[in-house]
Structure 1
Amino acid sequence: MKTELESRRALVTGASSGLGEAIARMLAAEGAAVVVHGRDEARTRKVAADIVEAGGVADIAIGDLANDEGAEAVAKQALAGGAIDILVNNAGYYHHLDWHTATPDKWAETFEVNVFSAVRMIQRIVPPMVSRGWGRVIQIGGGLAEQPATLHPDYQASLAARHNLAVSLARQLKDTGVTSNIVAPGAILVPSVRKLLEEIAPKQGWGESWEAIERGCVNDMVPNDVGRLGRPEEVAAAVTYLASGLAGYVSGATLRVDGGTVRSAF
């Protein structure tokens, strides 16, 4: 299956670790030239260097997307090496908060990082795509946007905003050759998640081996139809499909990569 990415250039935000890193690596492996974005220059350069060592093409863009100045700097760095055909808005984070501790200032901070950062990059990167008549815009959302729980209310609302803005953007991009979609991961086994689960496993009584810990986590916290946590490469594969020439007829869609965690027929 040919993804037709050899002539494309992609900017992946928050690509110095975790899901973003996996996405950047897979897009590069499929032939796209990748701009690896991050705030930590050393980690960002390491990811880009690994991609180049593996035979790919990678540049870097350093900056904080939570403010206009940082976003402008990142856009300039990304565009300095050529046009951007694919924008993956992955950068984001969450506090471990609940409805008692998620104060309005924390909500504002979460939305700056998780929502307004995406808006800033869309407004800087997408208009040239429209002018050229081809482009892909992909938001990394999540199942909690559709089925929220009690914890992390600010984070869950920010995911819902990401889903909403992606569909609104798809309507705006009608007949332009540029598509806008969402990839919605479930619980994915990035290093930070594994570390957290290993720390809480003794209190939860999940056992000591990683296999037992993962099984306990899935049974008690994130039940799904596959019976395990997702892997970053599985999310990256979904992004790669939507970024490719194979997905030209897909826009305004949510592609869930969650093992069936979200219980919905639509």
Structure 2
Amino acid sequence: MDLQLQGKRALITGSSAGLGEAIAIMLADEGATVIIHGRNPERAAAVASSICKRGGLAEVAIGDLSTDTGADEVGQSALAGGPVDILVNNAGAYEHFNWTTALPAQWLKTYETNVLSGVRMIQRLLPQMRARKWGRIITIGGGLATQPVSGHPEYSATLSARHNLAVSLARELKGSGVTSNVVAPGAIRVKAVEDLLIAAAPKYGWGTSWEEIEKGAVADIVQNDIGRLGKPEEIAGAVAYLVSSYADYISGATIRVDGGTVRTVA
């Protein structure tokens, strides 16, 4: 299927590794020019280089989106090569705090990194999308936005804010030709998740092989109907669909890619 992304330019924040990298690779494979964002120039350049070696088109934008200055730098770099048609707000941070250790300063830091980073990029890139009467804004959310647990309260709250702002933005964009949607991953097999589960394996008695650890984690921590962790390319596929012309009639929606972890009818 041709997703008709030839000639489109896409900025994927936090794309020097993990989910963001997978999204960038898939959009590039579909013909879009992708702008790789990160805070580490070497890592971002390596991802861009790997995409170019696959025959894709990739540029780099470096900056810390938790600050206005960093967001200005990223916006200027992204727009230097031409208008940006697609913004994927993927950048964010996840740390291990609870209601005792997540002090107010940590809440503020997490909010700057996970929520205001996306707001900053929307405000810098949306005007030219409006002017061209076409654009796609995708927010990467998560199941903890709607089904929080006792731990990581500051992180779950920021996910909820991301979902909320994406729907509010969709209402704002009525009739503009620009859409705003959410892709909400479940537990996805990226390096950070692998490291976390491998470290937890002895506590739960899951075994030592990845197959044993994944099976145990799905049974004890990240229950879902599929019986495994998700793959980065499965998230990328949902994003690719939403930014394509086939999703013109979708706005303000949340697509859950979580194996059935979230149990709601809405």
Q: By the TM > 0.5 criterion, same fold? A: yes
Query: Which residue in 2 is equivalent to 1:262?
Result: 262
Displacement of 1:250 in angstroms is 0.3
Q: Give structure 1 stretches of 5+ with no counterpart.
A: none
Note the alpha carbon deviations across 1:208-240, whole angstroms, 9 max, x for none.
Answer: 111111000000001100000001000000010
Query: Which residue in 2 is equivalent to 1:127?
Result: 127
Decide which moves more: 97-106 or 201-210: 201-210
Question: Residues of 2 paired with 1:111 and 1:202: CA distance?
Answer: 33
1:221 aligns with 2:221: yes
Q: Which runs of 4+ in 1 moved over 2 A?
A: none
2:114 partner letter: N
Identical residues among aligned pairs (%): 62
1:202 partner letter: P
| Partner-residue secondary structure (3-state), 2:21 | helix
CA RMSD of aligned residues (A): 0.5
Question: Residues of 2 paired with 1:228 and 1:243: CA distance?
Answer: 27
Query: Which residue in 1 is equivalent to 2:191?
Result: 191
Matches within 5 A, 1:54-203: 54-203=54-203
1:24 partner letter: A
TM-score, with length taken from structure 1 = 0.99
Decide which moves more: 202-211 or 217-226: 202-211
Q: Give structure 2 stretches of 5+ with no counterpart.
A: none
Displacement of 1:76 in angstroms is 0.2
| Partner-residue secondary structure (3-state), 2:71 | helix
User: How many residue pairs end up in the alignment?
Assistant: 266
1:240 aligns with 2:249: no
Question: Residues of 1 paired with 2:23 and 2:66: CA distance?
Answer: 21
TM-score, with length taken from structure 2 = 0.99
Question: Residues of 2 paired with 1:185 and 1:218: CA distance?
Answer: 15
Question: Residues of 2 paired with 1:235 and 1:248: CA distance?
Answer: 19
| Partner-residue secondary structure (3-state), 1:239 | helix
Question: Residues of 2 paired with 1:203 and 1:146: CA distance?
Answer: 28
Question: Residues of 1 paired with 2:224 and 2:193: CA distance?
Answer: 17
| Partner-residue secondary structure (3-state), 1:188 | coil
Displacement of 1:122 in angstroms is 0.2
| Partner-residue secondary structure (3-state), 2:113 | helix
Query: Which residue in 2 is equivalent to 1:249?
Result: 249
| Partner-residue secondary structure (3-state), 2:61 | strand
1:65 partner letter: L
Displacement of 1:20 in angstroms is 0.4
Matches within 5 A, 1:6-21: 6-21=6-21
Query: Which residue in 1 is equivalent to 2:204?
Result: 204
Displacement of 1:94 in angstroms is 1.6
2:116 partner letter: F
Question: Residues of 1 paired with 2:62 and 2:10: CA distance?
Answer: 15
Question: Residues of 1 paired with 2:196 and 2:69: CA distance?
Answer: 33
| Partner-residue secondary structure (3-state), 1:138 | strand
| Partner-residue secondary structure (3-state), 1:58 | strand
